[in-house]
C-alpha cells in the first residue's frame, strides 16, 4: 500500500500532467499555440513558444501553493505549533514562485523581441525591460516580493506577522494582472479591477483547499478547519463568479460572442468548470463536513436494556432496564465503581471485564474506536472529493492561461473613451452625479460583504435574546450605502476629472459614511459573525490603535500625505494607488469614529471628555483641509493638464469649490456628532440624578 507522502506526490504529478494537457488544448483551440511564423521576421524559437505557457502555469501553481499554505497557517490551523510549521512549509513554495517569475520574465522578453532566449539575453535589453516596460516591472516585483515572503517564513512570527505575510503574498499575485491584456481593454479600469479580484479570489480558494488537504487532512479536529475554509470558499466563489462575468462582458461586448467566437467558447468552458467547483462546494457543505464531526452519535447497543446513560449518577433501576449495568460518566466514559447491592447474579450474558483488566469494555463511547473509524472514513471521503476538486481547479487555471494567450474579440476596441481615464465621461452636470456610475466589482463586493456580516451578526444577537436597536442597523446600512455611492457612484466617475468632485468623494468615504457606520456600532455584530475578528479586536494591536492620539492620527495623516507630500498625482493617475487610497480613507475614518463615539466595546476605556476632544481635533483637520484648498498650491496640475478635458472647469475655481464640497459636509457631520454626544451626556446625567438624588460634590469633569 502506498504511503501518504507517495500518494500526495502521485496526486501532484497527475494534476500537473492534466493541467499541462488542458493548457495546450486551450492554447491550440484559441489560436495562441502554435504560432505561425512570419517570413522575414525573427522567431523566439520552440523553447520560448512551448516553455512560456508551461512556466506560467508553474508560476501560478507556486503562487497558489504559497498563498494557500499561509492562509492555512493564519485562518485554518489550530494550535500555534502547527501554525509555525505550516508557515515554514510556505518557504520552498515562495522560492519556487520567485524562480518561476524570473524565468517567466526572461521568456516573455524572448517572446517580445522575437529572439531565442540566448540571443535575447545577449541583446542587453533585459535591464531596460525590467525597469521600464510594465510587463517586465510586474514580474520583477513578483520575484523580489516572493523572495521577501520566503525569507519571512523563516522568522518566528506571531499572528499579526503571519497575517501580514499572507496579505503580502496576495498582493504579489496581482501585478501581472494589473499590466495584462485587461489594462488595454475597453473600460480598462473596471476590467483591471475585476481581473485582480478574480485572480485574488481564485488564489485564496484553490490555495486554501491545497493547504487544507496537504497540511490538515490528518489533524485531530479537521471539521473546524473545513468549516472555516467552507466559509472562505463561499466568499471566493461569489467573488470569482461575479468578477469573471464582468471581465467577460467587457471583453466580449455581447452575449452572442459567447458561442460565435473561440474566445467565448473558452469562457463557457471556464463557466462550466466554475459550476462544477460550485457543486463540489455544495457537497462539502451538506455531506462531507458532517462526517468529520469529532463527536458522532453513540450507536445503540444490540440489547436495549444495556443502553448506557450519560448521567454521572448511578443508573436507576427500572422494569425495562436491568440493574446490572452501571451508568457511564460523561467526561471520562469510564464506569463508576460497582455498588455491591447492585451486583447482578451470574447469567448467560458474557461478563464485562473491569477497566483494570486486559481488555476494554465493549460498550462504544464518544472518542472510542468506532468514533475514530467514523472520523477516518469521513476524512477519507473529504480527501477524495477535495483531490478531485484540486484537479479541476488546476485544469481551470491552465484553461485561464490558455485564454490569456487568446486574442479577445474586442482587442484594442477603445471606442470613444478617454485614454487616461479609461472610460467615457460625458460633460459634467449635477444630475449626472446620479445617473453616472463606476461599478467596480472590488468595491461592490467589499461593501456587500460588510453589510452581510453586519446583518448576520445582528440576527445571531437577536436569536440569542440580546436586543439590538433598529436605529443602529438603519444608521449602519445608511453609512454603507454612502460608502458604496462614494466608491462606485457619480462622484467616483467624475472624481478623477474634477477636483471638486474628488473632494466630495473623499468627504463621503472618509467622514460621512464612516460616521454613520460607527453610529451602528459595527464591531459588535461583525465580531459575532466572524469569531476571528473578535480575537483580533481584543488583541494588543487593537489596544494600541484605540489610543485616542493614535486614532486621531490615523484620521488626519491620510489628508496630510495626500495634499502636502505630492501623493495626489499618483492617486489620480493610477487605479491601484487610487483603490488603496480610498480603502485607507474608509477604514481609518470608520475606526476613528468607532473610537470617538464609543458605542463599540473597545479594549481601552476613554472618557467622554477625551472623545469630545477627538471630534474637535477632526473638525480642526477639516478646517485645515479647507484652507489648503483655498490658499494652497494647485493640486494635480500635471494630471489635469494631461487630461485636457474640454469641458473641465477652471482649476483654481474648481479647487476652491472643493473646499466647500469636501470639507463642508465633513465638518457638518462632525459638528452633528458633537451635538449628539452632548445630548447623550445630558441624558446620562439625568439618569444618574434620577437614581441618586443626593447632591454631588462636583460634576465639572463628568
Which pLDDT value is given to residue 592? 96
* Domain-located, residue 343: no
Which pLDDT value is given to residue 391? 77
Residue 128 makes CB contacts below 8 A (sequence gap 6+) with: none
Residues 87 and 159 in one domain: yes
Closest C-alpha to 546, from 613, 510, 598: 598
Residues 260 and 374 in one domain: yes
Note down the domain range covering 644: 432-691
* Domain-located, residue 315: no
Which pLDDT value is given to residue 68? 93
Which pLDDT value is given to residue 214? 84
Which pLDDT value is given to residue 205? 86
Which pLDDT value is given to residue 625? 93
| pLDDT tens digits along 269-309 | 878 877 887 777 777 666 666 666 554 444 444 444 444 43
Contact 489, 432 (CB under 8 A): no
Which pLDDT value is given to residue 553? 95
Which pLDDT value is given to residue 349? 40
Q: Give the whole-angstrom CA distance, residue 80 versus residue 484.
A: 38
Q: What cell was used for 488? A: 462606485
Residues 480 and 569 in one domain: yes
Residues 504 and 649 in one domain: yes
Which pLDDT value is given to residue 221? 60
SS (H, E, C) 35-60: CCCCCCCCCCCHHHHHHHHHHHHHHH
Residues 447 and 596 in one domain: yes
End-to-end CA distance of the chain: 75
User: 179, 211, 232: which is the final residue of a domain?
Assistant: 179
Which pLDDT value is given to residue 659? 92
Q: Give the whole-angstrom CA distance, residue 189 versus residue 466.
A: 44
Q: Virtual CA dihedral for 355, 358, 360, 362, nearest 10 degrees?
A: -120
| pLDDT tens digits along 153-176 | 998 888 888 889 999 999 999 988
Q: Virtual CA dihedral for 390, 394, 397, 402, nearest 10 degrees?
A: -150
* Domain-located, residue 339: no
Residue 214 has, within 13 A of its CA and on its CB side, a CA count of 26
Q: Give the whole-angstrom CA distance, residue 222 versus residue 290.
A: 11
Q: Give the whole-angstrom CA distance, residue 307 versus residue 296.
A: 16
* Domain-located, residue 328: no
Contact 102, 117 (CB under 8 A): no
* Domain-located, residue 642: yes
Which pLDDT value is given to residue 217? 67
Which parts of the chain have pLDDT scores under 70? 1-12, 14-16, 27, 29-43, 180-188, 217-222, 253-255, 257-258, 260, 284-385, 404-405, 407, 409-419, 531-539, 691-702
Residues 175 and 196 in one domain: no
Which pLDDT value is given to residue 354? 40
Q: Give the whole-angstrom CA distance, residue 228 versus residue 289.
A: 11
Q: What angle do CA 167, 168, 171 make, to 5 degrees?
A: 90
SS (H, E, C) 549-598: HHHHHHHHHHHHHHHCCCCHHHHHHCHHHHHHHHHHHHHHHHHHHHHHHC
Residues 110 and 212 in one domain: no
User: 179, 214, 246: which is the final residue of a domain?
Assistant: 179
| Strand spans (E) along 90-212 | none
Residues 519 and 568 in one domain: yes
With a pLDDT cut of 70, the percent of the chain lying above it is 72
Is pTM beyond 0.85 here? no
Cis bond upstream, residue 34 (ω within 30):
yes
Q: Give the whole-angstrom CA distance, residue 561 versus residue 563.
A: 6
Contact 499, 655 (CB under 8 A): yes
Contact 382, 292 (CB under 8 A): yes
Residue 296 makes CB contacts below 8 A (sequence gap 6+) with: 366, 371, 374, 375
Contact 232, 204 (CB under 8 A): yes
Q: What cell was used for 587? A: 477604514
Residues 54 and 85 in one domain: yes
User: 375, 408, 441: which is the final residue of a domain?
Assistant: 408
Got the DSSP string for 407-431?
A: PPTTTT--TT--TTTSS--PPP-TT
Which pLDDT value is given to residue 693? 56
Q: Give the whole-angstrom CA distance, residue 20 versus residue 38.
A: 27
Q: Give the whole-angstrom CA distance, residue 473 versus residue 446.
A: 18
How many helices (H) and strands (E) the chain has is answered by: 30, 0
Residues 164 and 234 in one domain: no
Query: What's the domain count of the chain?
Result: 3
Q: What cell was used for 329? A: 460518566
* Domain-located, residue 329: no
Q: What cell was used for 504? A: 466630495
* Domain-located, residue 656: yes
* Domain-located, residue 424: no
Q: Give the whole-angstrom CA distance, residue 284 versus residue 585.
A: 38
Residues 155 and 248 in one domain: no
Residues 262 and 373 in one domain: yes
Amino acid at each position: 500500500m502506498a504511503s501518504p507522502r507517495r500518494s500526495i506526490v502521485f496526486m501532484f504529478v497527475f494534476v500537473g500532467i492534466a493541467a499541462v494537457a488542458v493548457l495546450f488544448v486551450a492554447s491550440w483551440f484559441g489560436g495562441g499555440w502554435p504560432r505561425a511564423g512570419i517570413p522575414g521576421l525573427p522567431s523566439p524559437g520552440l523553447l520560448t513558444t512551448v516553455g512560456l505557457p508551461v512556466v506560467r502555469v508553474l508560476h501560478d501553481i507556486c503562487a497558489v501553493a504559497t498563498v494557500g499554505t499561509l492562509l492555512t497557517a493564519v485562518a485554518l490551523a489550530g494550535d500555534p505549533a502547527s501554525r509555525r510549521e505550516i508557515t515554514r512549509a510556505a518557504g520552498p513554495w515562495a522560492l519556487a514562485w520567485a524562480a518561476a517569475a524570473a524565468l517567466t520574465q526572461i521568456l516573455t522578453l524572448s517572446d517580445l523581441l522575437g529572439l531565442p532566449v540566448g540571443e535575447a539575453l545577449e541583446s542587453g535589453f533585459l535591464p531596460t525591460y525590467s525597469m521600464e516596460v510594465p510587463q517586465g516591472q510586474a514580474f520583477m516585483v513578483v520575484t523580489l516580493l516572493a523572495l521577501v515572503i520566503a525569507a519571512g517564513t523563516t522568522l518566528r512570527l506571531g499572528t499579526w506577522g503571519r497575517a501580514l505575510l499572507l496579505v503580502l503574498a496576495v498582493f504579489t499575485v496581482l501585478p501581472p494582472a494589473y499590466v495584462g491584456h485587461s489594462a488595454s481593454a475597453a473600460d480598462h479600469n473596471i476590467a483591471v479591477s475585476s481581473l485582480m479580484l478574480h485572480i485574488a479570489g481564485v488564489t485564496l480558494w484553490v490555495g486554501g483547499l491545497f493547504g487544507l488537504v496537504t497540511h490538515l487532512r490528518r489533524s485531530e479536529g479537521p471539521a473546524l478547519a473545513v468549516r472555516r475554509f467552507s466559509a472562505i470558499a463561499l466568499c471566493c466563489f461569489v467573488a470569482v463568479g461575479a468578477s469573471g462575468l464582468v471581465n467577460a462582458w467587457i471583453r466580449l461586448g455581447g452575449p452572442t460572442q459567447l458561442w460565435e467566437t473561440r474566445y467565448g467558447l473558452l469562457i463557457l468552458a471556464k463557466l462550466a468548470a466554475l459550476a462544477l467547483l460550485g457543486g463540489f462546494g455544495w457537497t462539502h457543505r451538506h455531506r462531507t463536513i458532517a462526517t468529520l464531526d469529532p463527536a458522532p452519535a453513540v450507536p445503540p447497543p444490540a440489547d436495549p436494556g444495556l443502553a448506557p446513560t450519560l448521567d454521572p449518577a448511578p443508573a436507576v433501576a427500572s422494569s425495562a432496564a436491568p440493574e446490572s449495568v452501571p451508568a457511564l460518566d460523561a467526561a471520562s466514559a469510564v464506569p463508576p465503581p460497582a455498588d455491591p447491592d447492585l451486583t447482578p447474579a451470574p447469567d448467560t450474558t458474557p461478563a464485562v471485564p473491569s477497566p483494570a483488566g486486559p481488555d476494554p469494555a465493549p460498550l462504544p463511547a464518544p472518542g472510542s474506536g468506532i468514533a475514530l473509524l467514523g472520523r477516518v472514513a469521513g476524512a477519507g471521503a473529504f480527501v477524495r472529493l477535495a483531490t478531485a476538486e484540486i484537479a479541476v481547479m488546476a485544469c481551470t487555471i491552465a484553461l485561464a492561461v490558455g485564454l490569456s494567450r487568446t486574442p479577445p474579440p474586442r482587442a484594442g476596441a477603445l471606442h470613444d473613451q478617454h485614454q487616461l481615464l479609461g472610460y467615457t465621461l460625458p460633460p459634467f452636470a449635477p444630475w449626472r452625479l446620479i445617473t453616472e456610475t463606476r461599478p467596480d466589482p472590488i468595491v461592490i463586493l467589499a461593501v456587500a460583504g460588510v453589510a452581510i456580516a453586519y446583518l448576520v451578526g445582528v440576527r445571531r444577537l437577536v436569536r440569542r435574546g440580546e436586543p439590538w436597536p433598529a436605529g443602529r442597523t438603519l444608521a449602519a446600512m445608511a453609512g454603507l450605502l454612502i460608502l458604496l455611492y462614494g466608491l462606485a457612484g457619480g462622484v467616483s466617475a467624475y472624481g478623477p476629472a474634477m477636483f471638486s468632485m474628488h473632494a466630495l468623494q473623499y468627504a463621503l468615504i472618509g467622514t460621512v459614511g464612516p460616521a454613520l457606520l460607527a453610529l451602528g456600532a459595527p464591531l459588535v455584530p461583525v465580531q459575532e459573525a466572524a469569531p476571528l475578528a473578535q480575537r483580533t479586536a481584543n488583541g494588543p494591536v487593537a489596544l494600541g490603535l484605540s489610543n485616542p492620539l493614535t486614532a486621531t492620527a490615523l484620521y488626519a495623516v491620510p489628508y496630510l500625505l495626500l495634499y502636502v507630500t505630492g501623493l495626489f498625482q499618483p492617486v489620480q493617475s493610477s487605479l491601484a494607488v487610487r483603490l488603496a487610497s480610498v480603502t485607507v480613507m474608509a477604514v481609518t475614518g470608520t475606526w476613528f469614529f468607532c473610537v470617538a463615539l464609543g458605542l463599540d466595546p473597545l479594549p481601552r476605556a476613554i472618557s467622554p471628555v477625551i472623545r469630545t476632544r477627538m471630534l474637535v481635533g477632526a473638525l480642526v483637520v477639516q478646517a485645515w483641509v479647507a484652507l489648503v484648498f483655498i490658499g494652497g498650491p494647485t493640486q494635480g496640475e500635471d494630471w489635469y493638464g494631461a487630461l485636457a478635458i474640454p469641458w473641465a472647469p477652471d482649476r483654481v475655481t474648481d479647487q476652491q469649490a472643493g473646499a466647500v464640497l469636501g470639507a463642508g459636509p465633513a465638518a457638518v457631520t462632525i459638528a452633528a456628532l458633537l451635538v449628539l454626544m452632548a445630548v447623550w451626556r445630558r441624558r446620562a446625567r439625568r439618569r444618574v440624578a434620577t437614581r441618586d438624588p443626593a447632591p454631588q460634590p462636583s460634576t465639572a469633569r463628568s
